[in-house]
Amino acid sequence: MRAIGIVLAGGNSSRMKELSNKRAVAAMPIAGGYRSIDFVLSNMSNSHIQKVAVFTQYNAKSLNEHLNSSKWWDFGRKQGGLYVFTPTTTPENSYWYRGTADAMAQNLDFLKSSHEPYVVIASGDGVYKMDYAKVLEYHIAKKADITIVTSTVDERDDPSRFGVINTDADGRVTDFEEKPITTDGRQVSTGIYIIRRRQLIELIEKAAEEERHDFVTDILIRYKNVKKIYAYKMDTYWSNIASVDSYYNTNMDFLKKDVRDYFFRQYPDIYSKVEDLPPVKYNLGSNVKNSLVSSGCIINGSVENSILFKKVYVGNNCTIKNSIILNDVYIGDNTHIENCIVESRDTIRVNTSYVGENGQIKIVIEKNERYAL
């Protein structure tokens, strides 16, 4: 593919509450054995993009460790490769990334030293499959300056979390409102963009000169009536996980057979860093229904409509319903957990109960937790 990739994975989301206290949103565990960033990196690899840069910043330790080898996504090549850029203090600059445009401005050499004519920009907090080559074909056919991939959100999600877009009959963007207070629109930006590399360099340099730092507000919205910006409508599964409810719902979607088949069994595949762990052990007295249980888990109790990530221990007479248990959690005997997200490395004491009530998802973080990533 005649493009390089940029993955924006440096941001934080207050809507994630305590879940983003220890990790970047792009490092959030998904579907038992993945991280959020695995989906965009897999899409880049499957689209034959050979050179990809990941911009990290907030709580980047676990994300950087996850990306410590490019081989998992097949970027370990003589040509191209996976590049991870964190903010760097220099004699000319002492700022962290002040926005998405500033992140690209501080790493402009990556763009200037590349030779591919196009750039695919994508956020690291989306769960989806996409062939970016098809978007590029659309971009070229429309003779667009910038193409934005859009999706239609359902009633479960709040469109005001996103950029809401209106288009004309030809697909050209006529209005773009970033995170409106109220809106009736359902067509939103997925945070995936295609733009010619030289034009991106020009726009980023101009924004930097004017002390403008956000790619959406200072470039896309500012130039929507000047540049030819088109929308490419995505009609397959897409979810942004950057809120507690959307993170919970996205994981729970993987309990649906059609969603599991789409991501796990249909080509192309989604790749991730692999750990050498034993298979799940179901002891006498365990009872598991409609759940995803990952490698390294030991189950003694009852698990229903839940997702258990790696190395979770469930004690005797435990009941876990409609919950997400993150990596390396020890759950003591006679524990009841329902409608919860349990943080990684937690130790849940025996004879305790955690229940999210009135449709609210309860985040469980014990004070006796072990160090978590």
pLDDT for 367 equals 65
pLDDT digits (tens, 9 = 90+) for 123-178: 999 999 999 999 999 999 999 999 999 999 887 788 888 999 999 999 999 999 99
> Using CA atoms, how far apart are residues 182 and 57, in angstroms rounded to an integer?
30
CA-to-CA dists, residue 180 to 186, 187, 212, 267, angstroms: 12, 13, 20, 37
pLDDT at residue 371, rounded to an integer: 46
Give the per-residue pLDDT at 314: 98
Could you tell me which of 49, 230, 233, 220 has the C-alpha nearest to residue 143? Answer: 230
Mean pLDDT across 5-23 = 88
pTM value? Answer: 0.94
Band (pLDDT 50/70/90 cuts) for residue 37 is very high
Q: Is the dihedral of CA 171, 172, 175, 176 positive or negative?
A: positive
3-state secondary structure 313-331: EECCCCEEECCEECCCCEE
Token couple for 87: 């903010």
Q: Measured between alpha carbons, how far is residue 352 from residues 106, 324, 359 in Å? A: 49, 17, 20
DSSP, collapsed to helix, strand or coil, labels residue 6 as strand
pLDDT of residue 185: 86
Q: What is the pLDDT of residues 218-234, one digit of tens each?
A: 999 999 999 999 999 99
Neighbours of 294 (CB within 10 A): 22
For 79-115, the pLDDT digits (tens) are 789 999 988 777 777 788 999 999 999 999 999 999 9
Q: In terms of Cα–Cα distance, which of 271, 310, 241 is closest to 27?
A: 241
Q: Is the pLDDT of residue 120 over 70?
A: yes
The share of the chain scoring above pLDDT 70, in percent, equals 98
At 336, the pLDDT band (50, 70, 90 cuts) reads very high
Q: Which of 29-43, 83-97, 211-225, 337-351 has the lowest mean pLDDT?
A: 83-97
- For residue 259, the cross-strand partners are none
Task: Select the more confidently predicted residue: 155 or 54.
Answer: 54
Q: Tokens 């050498």 correspond to what residue?
A: 276
Mean pLDDT of 190-202: 97
Question: Nearest Cα to 183, choosing from 201, 163, 167?
Answer: 163
Whether pLDDT at 373 is above 60: no
Distance CA 40, CA 19 (A): 21
